[in-house]
Structure 1
Amino acid sequence: MPAPPSPTGVHGAGAQADLEVRSSAEGQDQDQDEPEARAAAGSERGADGVFDYVITAVNHGPSQAVSVTVTDELPASLVYVSSRDGCTASGRTVRCGPLPRLAVGESHSWAVTVRLADDYDGDGQDIVNSASVSSPTSDPHPENNTTSVTGLPVPPDRGRADLSLDKTAVLAKGQRWVRPGETFAYRITVDNRGPGAARQVRVSDPLPGELSFVESADGCAPDGDGARTVVCPVLDRLEPGASVSYEITVKVAKSLPRHLRQIDNIASVTSATRDPDESNNQNAENTTGPDGGPLHIKPWPDPDHSDGELPDTGSDVPDRLGWLAGSAVAAGAVLVAAARRRVTCRGRKR
């Protein structure tokens, strides 16, 4: 007749505990007594490539095990997210426990949530995740202290997101120009054309010399003291079909080269997710005007202008002014003709 399980702890003479680690898909109904059910497996929680691992430590006796710890060594393709059971991560190593005591015949489970790494673009079949269990209590069968699994069900659209960027100056209705010294805003819009979600979306805007940063209600700011490149807060996730916008207020320099007639400012967007079409990751040249064309510069009128070149008085002349000018010229011609006729008539009387 076999001896009953021993409750002796780690400090008892001859205390042994055969610990086994199992890892399975959360919610999966498997017979854990079958060898093939003891392999680690991932359970997809959503189409974004987030998975749960449930790691279980089992004590086969004959003694209780103390200070039981489970360790999960994540591969480079997985990133730790969280654990509802108190597991913590240091680098790529996730530790659960220690559990003060695990009685003979009992088990204890920890859940670990992970996601696919941002730069991972495989189909999931090459992902290998290993877990192990340890205790100061002597283990007569250490061969079952580790387990691993190969493969995760990675969604086919995961890992690709086509981002596009558009940038427009926000001006008064009908206005297509700015003046030296004026302040105005740019609106930058990023669209995700799919097929998957984009992670770690980042917008950057190198300002040209004729512009300086003023403020941004959306948290965009120069990338360091004195830097001319404005960066916006990194967006952790942008779903397919969704968009995000940022506004940046800038000021036009008061002194500009006389030949400069328009401002061109190119912003760009990047993401940790692979982009199948990077040609639309920045706005096209000469398209930041409110009408989709260039953003013009309109100098202030100069009353003391004396360098032989006429000052810029504007090009937006109403059509009625041209008609009035033509009418005035015609009327003047009639008056001159009438005056000449009177002079001629008087000369004949003499």
Structure 2
Amino acid sequence: MAHGLYLLGDLAQVAGAQLRGDAGYQISAVAPLNTASSADLTFYQDPHLRSLLKASRAGAVVITPQDAEDFVGNCLLTDNPYAAFARIMQHIYPQDTLQPGLHHTAQLARDAQVDPGARIDAYVQIEAGAVIAAGVWLEAGTFIGAGVAVGRGSHLYPGVKIYAGCKLGADCILHAGAVIGADGFGFAEADGRFLKIPQVGRVLIGNDVEIGANSCVDRGALADTVIEDGVKIDNLVQIGHNVQIGAHTVIAGQTGIAGSTRVGRHCRIGGQVGITGHIEITDGCVIAGQSAVTHSLHRPGVYSGVIPAQEVNRWRRIVARLNGLDALFRRVQRIEREAGQDLSTNGEPSDRE
């Protein structure tokens, strides 16, 4: 919770913003545009909320110089209001100070290495050969498998499970119920049964990575699953075995990425996206929510492949017509061939379509 009052001039320095208004104005909290009072700071970036901005009673707003014309009060002017507001939030609502210590119910293997500057809460279990760095906070019920390394300053919320051999970098956050290093989904069919393929790779997670509650990152089958620096993963996300996620990519909730797919750096993947295995997504791709990605994306850009919900009878007609497209295409192809023409794309749409 916020404590005390904050001078607007000081908050402008924290945010790296230019102040328009009273530097001595006092702020006690932050709030949304539509509920902010005269003691609150808010921010504006979404043009769909312009009417709320004009009616807002906030004591100050973090805003771009271009949009500030629509607000008559105090403003903190910046080209990136959301990032500036985040810096102010970190200042007003700092993280709890770590209190190192080892709870008496925690179970540590004899050769586990736990830095004295770490905090180990109740019923944490740390297996043989694990290394826990200074400033790490393992909350209640966390399991750290054999040979796991947890980097300096990382915070694992209650019930996180990290299987044997996995590596977690510095300043990472793993929320409750996250599972790192479970077996990948690998089976070989033989005689009507499925034989389990041992998953002998690891999960390697870089620095400053955040993984949401109940998300799963599977260990590699042969090589490692790799999550690079700065990746942010939402709740209920499934990352398959041998997947590689490039640095500073963000992945929203309920997305699933199948095995051996490579996702580039600085990608943005919306919620409920399904990505097939063994493909590559290049740096800088933006994939809209609920899209299905079934082939490699070699050029940066915005991609979407979702058909919105329809009234059921209309949807059935659409599906019936989709099922007839192949036959229709072949008829057109035959007609063009008989007329002495060829389809220039051999039936495949060009990138310009």
Q: TM-score range by the shorter chain?
A: under 0.3
Higher strand proportion = 1
Higher helix proportion = 2
Normalising by the residue count of structure 1, what TM-score does the alignment of the two structures yield? 0.18
Normalising by the residue count of structure 2, what TM-score does the alignment of the two structures yield? 0.18
Higher normalized contact order (CA 8 Å, seq sep 6+, divided by chain length): 1
